[in-house]
Amino acid sequence: MSLEIANLNAGYDGTPILRDVAFSVDDGEIVGIVGRNGVGKTTLLKSIMGLLEPETGRIQYNGEELTGRSPDEHAKRSIGYVPQGRDVFPDLTVKENLLVGESVGDGDETRYEQVYDYFPILEERADQDAGTMSGGQQQMLAIARALVGDPELLLVDEPSEGVQPSIVQSITEDLKQINDEFGTTILFVEQNLSVIQGLAERCYAIDHGTIVDEITGDAVSERDQLEEYLVV
Amino acid sequence: MTTGFGAAGMLTPLVIGDVLGALDSVGVPIPQLLQMADNIAFIALAAIGLTIIFGMMGVINLAHGEFIMMGAYITTLSVNVASIPLPVAMLLGALGTAVFGAIVERTIVRRLYGRLLDSMIVTFGLGLILTQGTRIIFGNSLQSIGTPFGNVPGYTYSGYRVLLLFAAIAVLGAVYLVFTRTEFGVQARATIQDPETARAMGVDTDRMYTITFAIGSGLAGLTGALYAPSATIVPGMGQSFLVESFVTVVTGGSSVLLGTALAGGILGTINAIFSNLYGNFIGQIALLITAIIVIRLLPDGLTGLAATIREKIGERQ
């Protein structure tokens, strides 16, 4: 078992957002958390990454308790994070952004070559300030920045947000290929149907801060099944 | 006294004397040039530590002047009491202040990030404690070290003060390299831009804040150390640096190298011209009026202007 969440309750300033969330992700899987706006998807990823202290509950990764640990300790345990809205460092160049992502890496230069293979535009724009790039390029940079740290588990928060459809398709394929090539476990949250169906092997549906359904097998490709949790 | 700077220290003023002689022969007004160099060095060195702490970290450290005073005291006491060579004493002044800065960050400033007014009040109080504590322990003044090197040959101007311009350039260059060419520097800038994301990338942001604050403090200490041989060593000496340092940081904006160098150059030149023509008081007034005009026209300082120009050039390309 790679990642195991049990009885997770979390929120902001005493307002509960997540309620008794429980699910698990196995090594090498691609799992999606699907749901509408404001149901707690980002809060869930932030809690897993240690950016939000859970009120109660347990987060275990490879049998080790993560609850209460800081985000940098999570990163040092090979957990990569692609935040919502990319959150690249705007005044740092592309190369410097990657260098920050490499903070937890082993200094292996081939990781840069690998991410440049996936996202050649980043090599072309290595010396450009990240804040001056388009939304899609920033999304690629955010994923690349997480990948240079050589994560075993990659948490991705809404990769389609603010990105044009053709780039979304490309990013979806890239994530799938990264999983195939490196065996990277991917847990992503998303409300874009094409990303979910193009990427997820199975999904958990979240509503009002609670996991309400698990969607597996062929059901992931059934539009109606997913739309039930995505359409207002 | 021996300067501790070796043969290079003896030869440099002679070389400067030759260069100035050549400039003099083509009609360059040397006294005004030396005054300008001195002012630029003073302003840049006074501001560099604060640029990091205020410009990069957003902490208004009103004890900045006292950090400069601390560097001067450590240097002076190292030379006078422990007979340590001046260059080593200067290094101790910078390092001692850096360590003190790290302790202040860990124990006090860390609790005040994002609380601007609170940090101002607390660091103002810290400044008072440092000034009065120094007065109680060491009295109203220390015996000064004496300025090394003597005058520039052929001129009644301190060779050491001229050398401080080169020291300022070297310090600015070193800071630029640290914050742009090292892993620490890139991580520190990332932390300052977006601490939450930096932590999620594995950066120990607490450590980054401590080290960055310590570097800013150490540079303030280095300024005090560099001016120790040519200043009157009194507990309130840091105050004489405070106005210039804040005006420079606000005028220059957040970029350590570009902002401080540009602001130092412009303000130093204006200060020198007006001081030379109308006296020091008018020089200070001119400095403040320049700062007001720059802030009114360029809210992000000269750094913001440079960024706008760079963006426009980028758009054309």
Say which of B190, B199, B202 has its CB closest to residue A89. B190
Q: One-letter amino acid identity for A28?
A: G
Mean pLDDT of A170-183: 94
Query: What is the rounded distance in angstroms from the CA atom of residue B61 to the CA atom of residue B97?
Result: 14
Q: Do B202 and A76 touch (CB under 8 A)?
A: yes
Query: Which strands form A30-34's sheet, in the order they lie side by side?
Result: A79-82, A153-157, A185-190, A30-34, A202-207, A210-215
- The half-sphere exposure of A109 on its side-chain side, counting CA atoms within 13 A, is 0
What is the tens place of the pLDDT at every residue in A75-89? 999 999 999 988 999
Inform me whether the pLDDT recorded for A6 exceeds 80.
yes
Q: What is the pLDDT of residue B4?
A: 63
pLDDT band per the 50, 70, 90 thresholds, residue B314: low
Inform me whether the pLDDT recorded for B135 exceeds 90.
yes
Contact residues on chain A for B199, CB-CB shorter than 8 A: 51, 70-72, 75
Inform me whether the pLDDT recorded for B24 exceeds 80.
no
Inform me whether the pLDDT recorded for B257 exceeds 80.
no
Could you please state the CATH topology (level 3) that the domain comprising A3-230 is classified under. Rossmann fold (3.40.50)
Say which of A49, A72, A91 has its CB closest to residue B193. A91
Query: Poorest-confidence range of A50-64, A77-91, B11-25?
Result: B11-25
Say which of A71, A90, A96 has its CB closest to residue B200. A71
**CB-based contact (8 Å) between B313 and chain A?**
no
Query: What is the rounded distance in angstroms from the CA atom of residue A205 to the CA atom of residue B46?
Result: 58
Inform me whether the pLDDT recorded for B2 exceeds 60.
no
Inform me whether the pLDDT recorded for B299 exceeds 60.
yes
Q: What is the pLDDT of residue B42?
A: 86
Q: What is the pLDDT of residue A7?
A: 95
pTM reported for the whole predicted model: 0.86
Q: Are B282 and B290 spatial neighbours (Cβ–Cβ below 8 Å)?
A: no
Q: What is the pLDDT of residue B58?
A: 80
pLDDT band per the 50, 70, 90 thresholds, residue B209: very high
Mean pLDDT computed over every residue of chain A? 92
Inform me whether the pLDDT recorded for B3 exceeds 60.
no
Output b/e per residue, B275-311; b: 16+ Cβ within 10 A. Answer: bbeeeeeebbebbeebbeebeeebeebbbbbbbeeee
Inform me whether the pLDDT recorded for B9 exceeds 70.
no
Inform me whether the pLDDT recorded for B212 exceeds 90.
yes
**CB-based contact (8 Å) between A183 and chain B?**
no
Residue B52 tokens read as 């990091």
To the nearest whole Å, the CA of A134 is away from the closest chain B CA by 14
**CB-based contact (8 Å) between B303 and chain A?**
no
Q: What is the pLDDT of residue B186?
A: 94
B314 compared with B202, residue with greater pLDDT: B202
Dihedral sign (CA A136, A142, A144, A147): negative
Q: What is the pLDDT of residue A172?
A: 94
Q: What is the pLDDT of residue B5?
A: 64
**CB-based contact (8 Å) between B190 and chain A?**
yes
By C-alpha distance, which of A151, A152, A100 is closest to B204? A100
To the nearest whole Å, the CA of A180 is away from the closest chain B CA by 23
What is the tens place of the pLDDT at every residue in A110-122? 888 989 999 999 9
B279 compared with A58, residue with greater pLDDT: A58
To the nearest whole Å, the CA of A84 is away from the closest chain B CA by 10
Is ipTM beyond 0.95? no
By C-alpha distance, which of B161, B169, B229, B187 is closest to B48? B169
